[in-house]
Amino acid sequence: MKSLKEQIEWASGKGVAIGHFNVSDSEGFNAVVSAATELGVPVIIGVSEKERSFLGVAEIRALVTAEQGKGLPVYLNADHTYSVEASKEAVDNHFDSVIIDGAEKPFFENVMMTKEVVNYAKEKYPDILVEGELGFIGTGSMMRDEIPDGVSLETQTTAKDAKSFVDETCVDLFAPSVGNIHGLVKGGEPKLNIKRIKEIAKAVSVPLVLHGASGNTDEEVAAAIDAGILIVHINTELRLAYKKGIKKGMSSDEAAPYKFMAEGVEEMKKLATQKLRVFNKMQ
């Protein structure tokens, strides 16, 4: 089986992006994996710190290892990890990638903590990819009335800052702030800054990751991929689909969890399939 690094190189050669979907439980995990397996495309399972504590670090690692054992290109990412300690825990559990998120910290502090995780990972498991972030894009996957404070054109990552961050930290993957926002904005999402993505892709030599792509149109995301994005994160939309399905399941008299939960899995799988088609340029 290809490593995540090789899989990203494959995506780059093909001009497509790998889908990254967050899950909170085994149902969500099954929904995402079956969507990717049916389409025959690689997929990254993301678990944030809170999702990890709900699901269990060893438990999610075991679920992904079982799929990898079948030869399926399913990878595990420790999504937004705000402390060096929690990042090290993900490294110790041999996740395929880890995101150390110091985006809210001053530049120098962000560089220092990111560097520490890069060094730790390289020493322990050199195949683990470490992702760094620069430029605030908000936290949480809620419905927002408006664009969160601290996110604006001025706070978007510049190509120059991106280059010095990547050079100084030696990260394997880089997540910029380019008009993307975590969560969904009721009045409509701001547009992705495609021009800025192109500039950053030209300035740095590592793959770029687009966070908070929920709510952006398929056309925008496709343009972002053409501009140099190689991994696209979806969480909020997936959670909403899951919730909608479970609500439907709960409204019947059914008492068996595997029956009323199945509706949630179905909705989530439908959405993951739709997104994966866009990211992989399938008709």
Binding site for Zn ion (CB under 5 A): 211
Shortest CB 45 distance to Zn ion, Å? 14
In the complex, minimum distance from the CB of residue 64 to Zn ion, in angstroms, rounded to a whole number: 19
User: For residue 15, what are the contacts with CB-CB under 8 A and spacing of at least 6?
Assistant: 225, 226, 281
141 or 261, CB closer to Zn ion? 141
Instruction: Give yes or no: 79 in active site.
Output: yes
Backbone angles phi, psi at 199, to 5 degrees: -65, -45
Closest distance to Zn ion from the beta carbon of 48 (Å):
8
For the chain, how big is the Rg over CA atoms in Å? 18
Q: Of 165 and 260, which CB lies nearer to Zn ion in the complex structure?
A: 165
Structure tokens at 13: 């050669």
Which of these is catalytic: 79, 96, 101, 172? Answer: 79
CB contact at 8 A, 135 and 176: yes
Q: β-pairing, 173-176 with 74-81?
A: unpaired
Q: How far is the CB of 253 from Zn ion (least distance, A)?
A: 38
For Zn ion, the closer of residues 61 and 211 by Cβ is 211
- Which residue's C-beta sits nearest to Zn ion? 211
Angle at 100 between CA 97 and CA 104, to 5 degrees: 150
Taking the C-alpha atoms of residue 44 and residue 54, their distance in angstroms, rounded to an integer, is 19
- Residue 138 corresponds to which amino acid? G
Pick 86 or 246: Cβ nearer Zn ion: 86
By annotation, the residues acting in catalysis are 79
